[in-house]
Amino acid sequence: MPIGVLPYYAALLPGLARPCYLETLTVKSPFGEISVETFFRDYWQKKPLLIKNAFPTDLAATTPEELAALAMEEEVDARLVQHDPEKDSWHVDYGPFTKAALRKLPRENYTLLVQAVDYFISEVAALKQSLNMFPQWRFDDVMVSYAVKGGGVGPHLDQYDVFLIQGLGRRRWLVANPDYPSVPNDKVKLLRQIEPFTPSLDVIAEPGDMLYVPPNAPHCGTALEPCLTYSIGFRAPAQADIAARLADYLTEQEMDGVRYADPELQAAMDSAQISAAQMQKVKTLMSALMNDTTALEKSYAALVTQTRFSLTPVAKNWSKDKLIAALRKNKTLVRDDNARFAWFIGQDKAVHLFANGLEIPVSGISAESAQFLSNTTEVNAEAVERFADDLSFPDLLTTLFNAGAFQLAA
């Protein structure tokens, strides 16, 4: 897309490319001078933290122009939030947007937010690698926002952890602790805003800085100049989400479970009343279902590995012999940026591996194979030799390759 779709960007930052190549980015500790152990002990889900220079100051995993291009695509979830400071009114539009609409945007007080940019731009996906001390199934996606001076979404809170990495420009952040008694702003329900609050942290995020915001911590970010912010959100499944996925799993597996029964039933005094004893019977029935560890384990693994976009399987399945032979001839497999894995040792003592919401149908998986393939970014001849005695490895790798989780390197 030509430079200039987003007004006032081209004149400010002409010819911007990506000076920081994320595939070679190494971050010793994303928490700066604070150790990983200290972060988890003192900050994780407890209080906010600004880490100065967590990333290179020339970080540019994407550009405003690329973000605008994504916002014009049908399958992309994009929002445009505009604020009128004089009237203190907010307006939200949803994508896809046209080039003409983006060109008409004002000089100040708007922000363009695009969800799941990591599914489309590898450099953005690579940002999550710096946070590899977290389980990969806890990540949701990377939202990227472009804001001009005064742009933001107002004071609000999220029910999940988020790391906000500052790319271009500067943004002022006001953040309170999670126990702050926030009050919903009923005038702006669409943005789930809250009333203004007293911050415990009032900081300016500059290029390369990273802000951690715990769940339910009120926060408000306002652009001081045209800027890009990368928001790495975490998944926090609610009980309703887990229960719904469990129900789906039971339906998929055609597992009706135990039915309600009442052999001790007697004539009812009130045919419409559910008695306390009958309600207790229902609770006991459902408790037994929740104690079905296998169903709960598998449905949860399916839930937390589900992604917005499906993997693209190969056009024609390869045999394991063909794939292993190709690797031994110095071919390399690279992990798809959209692949999400989780594995566990179940109550049945077997290893179960899930990828993008589905269990990989390979029996006898070893924990070593599951761990390696879930965490590696590439597979080559060295890996084949390393797992030469692991009978599950060729079948597991081939199944993942055919499903699109790994692809042949160009």
The CATH class that applies to domain 7-234 reads mainly beta
The answer to whether the 7-234 and 320-408 domains have the same CATH topology is no
pLDDT of residue 9: 41
pLDDT in tens, 92-102: 999 999 999 99
Query: Which of these, 296, 212, 176, 280, lies nearest to 247 by C-alpha position?
Result: 296
The CATH class that applies to domain 320-408 reads alpha beta
Domain boundaries, the chain: 7-234, 320-408
pLDDT of residue 191: 82
Q: Are 229 and 221 in contact (CB under 8 A)?
A: yes
pLDDT in tens, 113-162: 999 999 999 999 999 989 999 999 999 999 999 999 999 999 999 999 99
Q: What is the mean pLDDT of residues 350-362?
A: 96
Strand-pair category, 110-114 with 89-94: unpaired
pLDDT of residue 257: 83
Distance CA 66, CA 334 (A): 24
What is the pTM assigned to this prediction? 0.88
Q: Percent helix, strand, coil in the chain (nearest 5)?
A: 30, 20, 50
